Each structure stands twice: as structure tokens, then as C-alpha cells.
């Protein structure tokens, strides 16, 4: 005696392996890249970008280089480089 066997099948997931509708394309990732680095984008967007970076090497390396550039700019906010340091840098460049 089986009762209510059909409703149960509704809980089964169909179409596994299809692309999720939340997947970003490269343009969207790059448009939100700086927000992502600043952690100013929404939580949902943040995880969607992370998801894309896991799949897309181009965007992953693009974002890494962007993060580096942003980091360097922040670490040197109109900082005056001492003349002695500049001299050392010039010497290193010359010896190359
Ligand atoms: Zn991409």
C-alpha cells in the first residue's frame, strides 16, 4: 500500500550540469573588479566574482595585477622617497 509517491519526486533536482544563471561573464567581472578589491561590492556579487575567478584564468590574473597596483598606490600615499633611497635605486638600475 503506497500512498503519495509522486509528490516526492518534486524534490529531485533536474538538469544538473547546466550553467547557473548567476554566472558572470568576463566584462561584468572587470567592471566590478575595483569594488571587489575594495570589498565594496555586495556579498552576492563578491561570491559570484570569486566563482568566476575559479573558472577563468584570464580574470584571475587580471584581478591579481589590479590588486597589486591598487596595493602599491595605497602603500605610498604621496610619500616622499628619501634621496638616499633614490640614489640606491639609481645605482641598482645602472648596474643592470
Ligand atoms: Zn573571465
Is the pTM higher than 0.75? The answer reads no
The residue with greater pLDDT, 79 or 50, is 50
59 Cα: distance to centroid of ligand 1 (angstroms)? 4
Distance from residue 81's CA to the centre of ligand 1 (Å): 37
23 Cα: distance to centroid of ligand 1 (angstroms): 10
What pLDDT shows up at residue 5?
Answer: 52
Rounded to the nearest whole angstrom, what is the distance from the C-alpha of residue 67 to the centroid of ligand 1? 16
Between 87 and 32, whose confidence is greater? 32
Residues 6+ apart with CB under 8 A from 24: 48, 49, 51, 52
| Separation of CA 3 and ligand 1 centre (Å) | 49
CB atoms within 10 A of CB 35: 14
Please tell me the predicted confidence (pLDDT) of residue 28: 94
Cβ atoms of 27 and 56 within 8 Å: the answer is no
Distance from Cα 56 to the centre of ligand 1, integer Å: 5
Amino acid at each position: 500500500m503506497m500512498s503519495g509517491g509522486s509528490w516526492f519526486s518534486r524534490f529531485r533536482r533536474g538538469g544538473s550540469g547546466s550553467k547557473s544563471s548567476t554566472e558572470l561573464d568576463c566584462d561584468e567581472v572587470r567592471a566590478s573588479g575595483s569594488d571587489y578589491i575594495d570589498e565594496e561590492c555586495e556579498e552576492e556579487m563578491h561570491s559570484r566574482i570569486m566563482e568566476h575567478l575559479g573558472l577563468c584564468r584570464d580574470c584571475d590574473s587580471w584581478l591579481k595585477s589590479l590588486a597589486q597596483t591598487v596595493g602599491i598606490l595605497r602603500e605610498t600615499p604621496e610619500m616622499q622617497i628619501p634621496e638616499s633611497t633614490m640614489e640606491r635605486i639609481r645605482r641598482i638600475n645602472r648596474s643592470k
